[in-house]
Amino acid sequence: MTVLPQSHRPLIDSFGRRISYLRISVTDRCDFRCVYCMAEDMTFLPKKDVLSFEEVEAIAGAFIARGTTKIRLTGGEPLVRRDIMALVRSLGQKIGSGLDELTVTTNGSQLAKHAAGLYEAGVRRINVSLDTLDAERFRQITRRGWIEDVLDGISAAQAAGIAIKINMVAMRGVNDDEIEPMLAWAHGKSMGLTLIEGMPLGEVGIDRVDTYLPLRELHERLARRYTFTKLDKRTGGPARYVHVAETGGTLGFITPMSHNFCESCNRVRLTATGQLYLCLGQDDQVNLRDAWREGGAAALDAALDHAMIIKPKGHDFVLDRTHEAPAVARHMSVTGG
């Protein structure tokens, strides 16, 4: 039997799940304050604690050596971090040498100026978050964004050759009247659409119980109008996809609340300050920044081994009037969506 050096052993957790997908929150800061994600007044992580790009690259390299094939840059808003394209370019160089895909989730506000650079660095697909097509409503949801910037960003990314999936958090009484128009618009522009259930992460600006819209309900509503064919596409996350006959596009449902798919989870999340969170809905974490700073590559490897031992089986989000405090105190922008 060949014994692989520790630094090349695949990352397999105590439930037998192979971890092959790393999400990196490059900053918890953002130019928007979406009502379901952030409070109006946010306290951000101290800048001095944020990992340098060299540190992010070292940690990403350790993951890639141990079988990570996909990295997503997220946040906060990844494209507002200064010099972000330098990190994108250096991680992009790993594509084909262990890494299969480098991708980004963005609010789109800075996309117009970075689209060509992202493509040049090897990014071929991105997720853009857009919860409404109405300019005024967009302003209300994001509290400070301009929809024109996002639409320009989307056009620029498509012109650069990047495929786009739109992420839309479905909220009762906020944008649930826009699901069908968004589907028609996104598919009409050859973009996928993924609907997301609001998750109870951090104190924010809306009533999560009132606005919670189980996607099962939405699925039934849409299925009366559209013809769905289930797709096999699995991302190891809580998304399930259908093909929509009438529009010819793909529709995804991310249902962490009404149906979790934790048994097939393949991902972990690195915060901007180097904490590795092992589940979006739990607090289990390993401090990779200290491991790297104090013990270098060997300590980083040992920390990854420890992470595999403590990765929890799954989250247990509950959302009702008897559980009004958020399930997890940290905001989505810290762990990275």
| Chain contacts with ligand SF4 (rule: CB under 6 A) | 30, 32-34, 37-38, 75-77, 107, 129, 333
Shortest distance (Å) from residue 56 CB to ligand SAM = 16
33 binds, options ligand SAM, ligand SF4, none, Cβ within 5 to 8 A by partner type: ligand SF4
Is position 267 annotated in a ligand binding site? yes
E-strand ranges in the chain read: 21-27, 70-75, 101-106, 125-129, 163-170, 192-197, 228-230, 239-244, 249-254, 267-270, 275-277, 285-287
Is position 30 annotated in a ligand binding site? yes
Is position 308 annotated in a ligand binding site? no
Is position 129 annotated in a ligand binding site? yes
196 binds, options ligand SAM, ligand SF4, none, Cβ within 5 to 8 A by partner type: ligand SAM
Q: Which residues bind ligand SAM (CB under 6 A)?
A: 30, 36-37, 74-75, 77, 105-107, 129, 167, 169, 196, 198-199, 201, 332-333, 337
DSSP assignment of 168-212 equals EEEBTTTTTTSHHHHHHHHHHTT-EEEEEE---BS--SS-HHHHB
CB of 256 within 8 A of CB of 199?
A: yes
Is position 199 annotated in a ligand binding site? yes
When the beta carbons of 61 and 256 are compared against ligand SAM, the nearer one is 256
**What SS3 state is found at 273?**
coil
**What SS3 state is found at 138?**
helix
74 binds, options ligand SAM, ligand SF4, none, Cβ within 5 to 8 A by partner type: ligand SAM
CA separation for the pair 124, 102 (Å, rounded)? 8
- Binding annotation for S-adenosyl-L-methionine: 36, 76, 129, 199
Going by the annotation, the residues of the binding site for [4Fe-4S] cluster are 30, 34, 37, 262, 265, 279
Binding residue positions for GTP: 23, 72, 105, 165, 267-269
